[in-house]
């Protein structure tokens, strides 16, 4: 029915809410639960580090694909509050109408494949298994170490 992002960003699919007759109380309940999960992940992944300062920088948002686009739209809107110079969305596959709709929110949208018969992101992958918290933390730690090593060698 939608997605949330940092800074109070919330994207709702009015069509889904209307079609399924989801009451506002249910939306608020789910929003509160998802905010707790967002805060848990931010703390788990970043620890005490502040968010990156992206003001005036080009930022590329990457996802495995775009179905409804709610999650990416929430990310784009949350990022916009941080005043990047440009926001680029890049995905390997996406629904044609979703890729097109995001072009009004991001500075550039790259959808490598936009099959007309797009039904779900996972259908375009041989392995669409979930990335766990431990793997995310490991990858972020390795990226930090690589960045630090580059700063030391160029320092």
Helices (H), 9-94: 14-20, 24-46, 70-80
How far apart CA 140 and CA 120 sit, in angstroms, is 27
**What is the span of the domain harbouring residue 25?**
2-154
The pLDDT tens digits along the chain (155 residues) read 999 999 899 999 898 899 999 999 999 999 999 999 999 999 999 998 888 899 999 999 999 999 999 999 999 999 999 999 999 999 999 999 999 999 999 999 999 999 999 999 999 999 999 999 999 999 999 998 998 888 887 65
Count of the separate structural domains present in the chain: 1
CATH number, residue 84: 3.40.50.2020
Report the DSSP pairing between strands 9-12 and 2-5: antiparallel
Q: Which residues pair with 5 in a beta bridge?
A: 9
Q: What is the pTM of this model?
A: 0.88
How far apart CA 18 and CA 103 sit, in angstroms, is 25
């Amino acid at each position: 029915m939608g997605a949330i992002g940092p800074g109070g960003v919330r994207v709702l699919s009015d069509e889904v809410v209307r079609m399924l007759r989801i009451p506002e109380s249910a939306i608020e309940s789910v929003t509160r639960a998802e905010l707790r999960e967002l805060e848990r992940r931010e703390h788990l992944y970043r620890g005490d580090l502040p968010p990156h300062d992206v003001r005036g920088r080009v930022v590329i948002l990457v996802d495995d694909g775009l179905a409804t686009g709610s999650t990416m739209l929430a990310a784009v809107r949350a990022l916009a509050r941080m005043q990047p110079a440009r926001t680029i969305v890049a995905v390997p596959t996406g629904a044609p109408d979703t890729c097109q709709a995001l072009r009004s929110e991001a500075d550039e949208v790259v959808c490598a494949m936009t099959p007309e018969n797009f039904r779900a992101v996972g259908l375009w992958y041989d392995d669409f298994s979930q990335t766990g918290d431990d793997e995310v933390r490991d990858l972020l730690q390795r990226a930090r170490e690589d960045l630090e090593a580059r700063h030391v060698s160029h320092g």
